[in-house]
Amino acid sequence: LDFQVGDRRLAGMAAQNSGRFLRQMLVEGVGEQGQSAIVRARIVIVGCGALGSVIASFLVRAGVGHVTLIDPDRVESSNLHRQILFDEDDAVAGRAKVDAARARLSNVHPTVHVEAIVGSFDAGNADGLIGEADVVVDGTDNFTTRYEINDACVRLGKPWIYGGVVGASGMSMTVIPRRTACLRCVFPEAPVPGVGRSPERDGVFGPIVGVIGAVEAAEALKLIVGAQPARGLAQVDLWEGAMSRLDVGGPRPDCETCGHR
Ligand SMILES: [Zn+2]
């Protein structure tokens, strides 16, 4: 499913968009050059639920030229407290999340190219999906898919941004293949279901999704404009009002994914 509103994307961009993006271009590190890199960028967001809603909103509003959304699920009313791209109508109609998101985002910025894929990200389609991407962003809620993203991105040399939330806390980390630790370097094994905290058992406090999704969107934009990514693992606990960053070092030689490269 491919969706493009108008082919005037590049034509007239400078004139038309300079007003739209003025405050963004004034940010140190963005500028006109950064903005034109953003407009040319291709970003894949895996998962279009809570985190994906926030990430996609900021990236489309920022003017990212091509955004791919992939998610197999449909909107349900139990999603609405934290999945800010959707509304009651989407839940009643049982719309596919990526279709509802694309419809909303095309109203936000009609000249951004939003591709919506109803389906799961796995080892079988990973290369095809991220082959053209400049950056891949994690909007998933499970480690199985995150490991698939990690392994494909490290193999193809694509930067990607991990993000996860549970309860009122969350984490994020930017992975630059062969330069930084990857997800498996830091978390060699997935959490065992039923052990430790999980969204199924501990829920998700809506505002944490905004914080972690915004951190992920910021990291993606920084990579696109050529800025240095944040180092290590960001940890946020909104209940405590605490934010910290953990140094995780570089790629580990004994990592299953980085080790033999
Ligand atoms: Zn690794």
* 74 alpha carbon – ligand 1 mean position (Å): 33
- Cβ-Cβ contacts under 8 Å for 152 (sequence gap 6 or more): 123, 126, 127, 130, 158
pTM for the complete prediction? 0.92
Count Cα atoms within 13 angstroms, Cβ side, for 49.
25
* 224 alpha carbon – ligand 1 mean position (Å): 23
Check residue 192 and give its pLDDT.
79
- Cβ-Cβ contacts under 8 Å for 86 (sequence gap 6 or more): 53, 75, 79, 80, 95, 97, 100, 101, 104
Tell me the C-alpha distance between 99 and 206, whole Å: 22
* 232 alpha carbon – ligand 1 mean position (Å): 13
Mean per-residue pLDDT over the chain, rounded: 92
Whether 11 shows a pLDDT value over 70: the answer reads no
3-state secondary structure of 186: helix
Of 124 and 194, the structure prediction assigns the larger pLDDT to 124
Whether 108 shows a pLDDT value over 60: the answer reads yes
Check residue 4 and give its pLDDT.
44
Check residue 260 and give its pLDDT.
64
pLDDT range class, residue 18, cuts 50, 70, 90 = low
The fraction of the chain above a pLDDT of 90, given in percent, is: 85
The full DSSP string for 27-82 is: STTTHHHHHHHHHH-EEEEE--SHHHHHHHHHHHHHT-SEEEEEE--B--GGGTTT
Asked if 158 and 166 count as a contact pair (C-beta separation under 8 A), the reply is no
- Tell me: the pLDDT tens digits for 170-213? 999 999 999 999 999 999 988 877 778 888 889 999 999 999 99
Q: How is residue 10 written in tokens?
A: 């590049």
* 59 alpha carbon – ligand 1 mean position (Å): 27
Check residue 7 and give its pLDDT.
42
Tell me the C-alpha distance between 175 and 189, whole Å: 17
Residue whose C-alpha is closest to residue 112's, from 52, 48, 62, 65:
65
Summarize the confidence of residues 140-162 as an average pLDDT: 96
AA letter at 77: S
